[in-house]
Structure 1
């Protein structure tokens, strides 16, 4: 576990990585391409009488004092190793540098330099963001009354980001009187935000600054009080909800809620109606809410209904009641309602029943309509219900596989629903849908500069039979002319954790692969909620291996169906999807020509055994608690780092960020070192550490495409596509 690095350490890290790993005789090609060999320092880890020896545990910077001062010898050793790996990666991919630059220019060239979001109405102002030519960050703007009035720039992130290696703004919230803007600022990529407040009338920042917080706030109706989420400075967990009054010291901020259970995330928001401040807390299996009238900021929060060990629900206020989306006696969730003055579960009344084949995901409340977002057969649906007559209908979608959902809808009084739509072939599109006339209006479709014709690509939706007989959805796209004779390269993507479903949406950068002959597929494996809540339940805890088996079975399918061959098949996944990549290459390395693992969570057992590491305790119901023998043994049986063995592995590119707070950099670094020790092949094994970024990669609009260009060039070169 480590705390945020000082600027002194960052400069030192950059210095060491700039000079580390250079061979003494750069004219000697043998020496030039010699991969780094990490030092082995045996370290014993014991659990339930089982002893594991970790030879690369030293890569973890465990003492936070080492990060608050000049690097000590151990820190220098880690930086030297990461530097050597970065240098080796750069040299190994040197022949692709021209291709990388070509790919980068292609990808950024497809992006409209003068882009602007679709304005939305909130409290009498139209809000939108826009980009200017050559600038990395958005400019947030608004217009009062209607779109013909003068633009007011409320926040130019480019100005704030000047001189920063990493900069991110998140959680913008305008006060109810429209005069103040609160937002979170992250300059390290650790998702540790400082909340700042800007006076939109004068353009000056208030002296109030709230450090070590989550980005979002909830304004009270008095425009002087805001509620925010404070982080634990060691574990980085969201731990307390505090109340701040403008003009006072943050040292005196009152804690209005403290979460005692470290397995819960917490946060706060204002209801769409504006009448309530809502505190939420959520673990994998349970949620809890506390409510307070927003015009009574000094009052006491009231628990919505008693917390239960297994009960997930969400709430939204409407007139004199709350709508409740709940899995109480409803695996795929159902919709309930309850009066606002007595919200205990015993008073809930059913509005929409549970359905075995439909997952109820979320709702959007309007004065006259209720919109329900559902998932059936792996695809999202939007259901419109008249609040008075209760008549309902579904908004039609255009393609066999797509991504769709409720967009920003701040206006409570309107009869217009804004929703987004895209597919693997169709760029991101925003529609305004009249819920009375059922007519839709195209508000914006992302421009692909240089032109893009969706009809030149074929999208397929396939059901793959898994080894246990279950049917796995898979979405595939390729350019017309792609031959299903096993000769084409294919990239298979997967995630499969936390119930997160990767929908088949558009990516303009992906065109650089498709137009060079690649096919691309998403395996909607268990661990997601593609086929409902049971699909998630069947891919976590003691059923986690279903996730890995599903991906392998999808890979085998595209080979058997002659989409590709094992010498032309590539795989990619990030974070928990990086865990997927690690498990897959241990299980079936022979299926893949190359694998890209981004910020991979591969040292599962060691990380989950250490509650001091950020986010660990929140994950017990996802992966298991290693303090329990059964969980310990199951995690050990699939943890990629613990199961590296002497065998051939595919070509691999591993991407990580030095400041990652979600998957610490040492997990992929240790994994690569251990793979080098055990693997029996001569394939490429590359580690690239971004020294200025965390879990989400580089900040800014364009810099991220440098990393994507590297990943694509790695695959294209292995597929013998050189330009």
Structure 2
């Protein structure tokens, strides 16, 4: 409980002078700001005090569905199987390995296992986020990185697996990435600039006291990332903005040499590269949008660094199918596609007919979880739907034979057929059809039900339907759940993304409203039963639609919401601002300024009635600063004309992803669900 006396009335933020009267909330670590945030937390505690028993019931209920002590599916690599184990009562999974059995077996031998890392011990009850976990090619060392505050700045460590000795590397402002060269002695890592952008790559040889800068990216729009190719023979340095990219490569056996550019950046040209085998020959594989926005795949001999004119088409561009990515094994190429708003896996085995993976559900999430070793004849897929728990499926590359290796257990009474999963389509104002994924209990079909509608719609991210143990606590109490796949996301390809960014951002908000109206018109729900939710850029979506159509919703939840868009985009010194110009525009340009000001949630709060609102922020959040939520809530308190709940919770020890640890995460969900039941007047 807060040490501050619980206020009887909502905390009222003082209004300062100037165009932004709540700008003083940006004065991090001052006593006035901290006291205000703690007062808001105390106000939330007061208003939700009557739900303590319900929240504990929900927490225990959700926890009771989860197999708390469990073993991940071991992954074979070299002489070992690598895996994690969760134990009841522990917040984090421990990392292990054991000797690899003969053949294709993947059963862990606990009698011979070795504990590699225990995050529970490292966390010591505080915040902990594990960044990189990377075993050296000779399996003798573990490189790992830790964030202990939530600000996404990492400390780097190397552990000698033979002796258990741990060395903290003496480098600061690290992005958490660590990439091994093939000598198992050389590590490459990234450094953050003042705006929290990965901009420099360093090479460090174990035992040295320093590191050597090998690359610097001065353009503030570009992020830097280093990794290993599928073949394990190349190091790949990828530089990317929201619209343009550039790749550099280096022989992983020659880490002292310099990276070489594969194709110099050209504004609007996006590409990425991998290295593998094609018909027995070492080959560069390049996924590029040079022939169309949905990307095509090209090949080039790996005998040298090819010119762009040497790229030969391997998979042509399609106007209707998006090439999202590729996975390389020695004797097969696996394409990750998007078609009709859903993910599709297409396999092209060497010397055999291509095929697409067949699946049982109409709406689902599917991706390659593990390509295993480069020489493996199989890969692992992760598959789930709104009513089907996640499965790891083994796919035999040559013939497409599938085997479910592991299904996430749901303890207690659970029957997937007790829930109905549907794909609906709403019509936007311009006639565009917007997909909706919906799940509810089968016995609630045909009557209006309380509904939790979720949205995001930015950066081309695809919100494919996913299963949630926690969500069953909503569904079993009669609350339906839906995802609005609005423009700005990537569900229907690159064109879908571009139709919801920059000057088309209004489509994202209009699509979400159209989805809500469609669900009401179809009799799935009513406006007085509709709760909406989104986080980060999805919080921007929630804030915008609340200003435009507040009467359409009963309540809203906004997590780490990007609601102070205009002021943030006007400050190039803030983390990520410059890199975001390609997504939102640069408001230094008058036309862009007017456009953003026209929809920015903070600027457009009006003297009108708003639904009940729960807002969550992270004090150490480096992506969306805590003050965006605090300022927005302050302005809402000043102007709104209703008596509905307006609650702000600031996690004072967390960042963008909220509190660390699986049990704390469940308690956060219980708080949110309790708020939903309270404002809907449900008495579960």
Q: TM-score range by the shorter chain?
A: over 0.9
TM-score, normalized by length of structure 1? 0.91
8 A contact 2:230–2:329 mirrored in 1: no
- Residue 420 (structure 2) aligns with: 458
Report the secondary structure of 2:528's partner residue: coil
- State the match for 2:118 in structure 1: 156
Specify whether residues 602 and 207 from structure 1 end up closer, same or farther in structure 2 by C-alpha distance, changes over 3 A only.
Answer: closer
| TM score, norm. by length of structure 2 | 0.97
| Corresponding residue number in structure 2 for 1:60 | 26
TM superposition outliers: structure 1 runs of 4+ over 6 Å = none
- Shift in CA distance, 296/670, structure 1 to aligned 2, threshold 3 Å: same
Give the secondary-structure state (helix, strand or coil) at the position aligned to 1:618: helix
Match status 1:613 vs 2:574: yes
Distance in 1 (alpha carbons) for counterparts of 2:71 and 2:463: 25
Asked if 1:18 is matched to 2:22, the reply is no
1:420 alignment counterpart? 382
Q: Is the 8 A contact 2:74 2:108 kept in 1?
A: no
CA shift digits 1:119-140 (9 cap, x unpaired): 1112222111111121111100
Q: Which of 174, 187, 191 in structure 2 is aligned with 1:213?
A: 174
Q: What is the CA distance between 1:584 and its match in structure 2?
A: 0.6
**Does the Cα contact within 8 Å between 2:147 and 2:154 map onto a contact in 1?**
yes
1:526-675 pair list within 5 angstroms? 526-675=487-636
Instruction: Could you tell me which runs of 5 or more consecutive residues in structure 2 were left unpaired when the two chains were aligned.
Output: 102-106
Would you say the 8 A contact 1:430–1:442 is kept in 2? yes
Query: 1:268-287 maps to which residues of 2 (within 5 A)?
Result: 268-287=226-245
Q: Offset of 1:439 from its aligned partner?
A: 1.8
Partner of 1:310: 268
Q: Aligned partners of 1:626, 1:160: CA distance in 2, in Å? A: 43
CA distance, structure 1, for counterparts of residue 399 and residue 323 of structure 2: 25
Distance apart, 1:21 and its partner CA: 4.9
Tell me the secondary structure at the aligned position of residue 134 of structure 1.
coil
| Contact 1:39–1:56 (Cα < 8 Å) also in 2 | yes
What pairs up with 1:510-521 in 2 under 5 angstroms?
510-521=471-482
Q: CA deviation at 1:694?
A: 0.7
Corresponding residue to 2:321 among 333, 339, 358? 358
Taking the aligned partners of 2:93 and 2:604, their CA distance within structure 1 comes to: 44
SS in 2 for 1:210: coil
Residue 71 of structure 2 aligns to a residue whose secondary structure is coil
Q: Deviations over 1:265-312 (max 9, x none)?
A: 111011121111111111100111111101111111100111111111
State the shift of 1:483 in Å.
Answer: 4.3
Query: Within the alignment, does 1:81 sit opposite 2:36 as a pair?
Result: yes
Q: Distance in 1 between matches of 2:656 and 2:305?
A: 42
The answer to whether the Cα contact below 8 Å between 2:2 and 2:38 also exists between their aligned partners in 1 is yes
- 8 Å CA contact 1:197–1:209 kept in 2: the answer is no
Determine if contact 2:6/2:46 at 8 Å carries over to the other structure: no
Conserved? CA contact 1:172–1:216, under 8 Å: no
Contact persistence 1:173–1:216 (CA under 8 A): no
- Corresponding residue number in structure 2 for 1:134: 89
8 Å CA contact 2:563, 2:600 repeated in 1: yes
Cα separation, 2, equivalents of 1:227 and 1:660: 26
Structure 2 residue 119 is the aligned partner of structure 1 residue 119? no
In the TM superposition, what is the alpha-carbon distance from 1:157 to its structure 2 partner?
A: 1.1
Aligned to 2:99: 144
Q: CA deviation at 1:145?
A: 2.3
3-state DSSP of counterpart to 1:559: helix
1-side partners of 2:422 and 2:437: how far apart?
Answer: 6
Aligned-pair distance for 1:663? Answer: 0.5
**Hey, what does 1:377 align to over in structure 2?**
340
Please state how far the C-alpha of 1:343 moved relative to its aligned partner. Answer: 2.4
1:208 CA displacement: 2.9
Unaligned 5+ segments in structure 1 are: 1-16, 24-31, 44-52, 68-74
- CA RMSD in angstroms comes to 1.2
Show the counterpart of 1:38. 13
